[in-house]
Amino acid sequence: MKHTILLFPLIFVGNIIANSYTISGVVSDKVTNKPLIGANVYVEGTSIGAAANNKGKYSITGLKEGSYVIKASYIGYNSFSDSLLISGDNKNFALDFNLSYTTIEGNEVVVTAQAKGQMDAINKQLNAKSLVNIISSDRIQEL
């Protein structure tokens, strides 16, 4: 009985491994062809994915037969998606990505500053218990 119980999980795990597919490849810069270390490659609509290693290589395992959209992304680069139909006896599929560099634009930032004398005067007005008109020493010197 013990041998039967041990044999069943081994057969079950063997079936899962035999029916799974692997997608692997390299993510690199389109212009320089240098690997993009840490680039994300994932199957859209799922939580399945991988990060590229120090040579830009990635590997996604455990996929079943079907049609997938594989997406590669890396900060500072345009993301790229490719469709892939997985089926047949070949269990390993190769899919390389060459990503194009892009600029990242943020919102405009406006920086303003006040002289220390003005800042002290404003703070005194805000902290005063009654209405007080305070003139900074810088302002007095201007007069």
DSSP character at residue 15: H
Same domain, 125 and 93: no
The separation between the first and the last C-alpha atoms of the chain, rounded to the nearest angstrom, is: 103
Please give the pLDDT value at position 14: 45
Mean pLDDT by 10 residues, the chain (143 residues): 53 54 97 97 95 97 96 96 93 96 83 74 73 64 68
Fill in the amino acid letter for 23: I
> Does residue 86 form part of some domain?
yes
In this structure, the answer to whether residues 118 and 75 fall within a common structural domain is no
Instruction: Examine the domain organization and report whether 49 and 27 are in the same domain.
Output: yes
In a domain, 126, yes or no: yes
Same domain, 58 and 10: yes
In a domain, 89, yes or no: yes
CB 76 within 8 A of CB 100: no
Domain membership flag for residue 104: no
Q: Does residue 123 share a domain with residue 83?
A: no
Q: Quick one: pLDDT at residue 122?
A: 74
According to the model, what pLDDT value does residue 76 have?
Answer: 93
Is residue 27, in this structure, part of any structural domain at all? yes
Task: Name the residue among 92, 14, 106 with its Cα closest to residue 60.
Answer: 92
**Residue 121 has what pLDDT?**
73
The DSSP secondary-structure symbol of 130 reads: S
The structure's pTM equals 0.62
Residue 79: per-residue pLDDT = 96
Instruction: Give the type of residue at 63.
Output: L
Q: Are residues 35 and 75 in the same domain?
A: yes
Count structural domains, the chain.
Answer: 2
Residue range(s) defining the domain that contains residue 130: 112-143
CATH code of the domain containing 34? 2.60.40.10
Angle at Cα 49 formed by Cα 45 and Cα 55, nearest 5°? 145
Is 14 within the bounds of a domain?
yes
Same domain, 26 and 86: yes
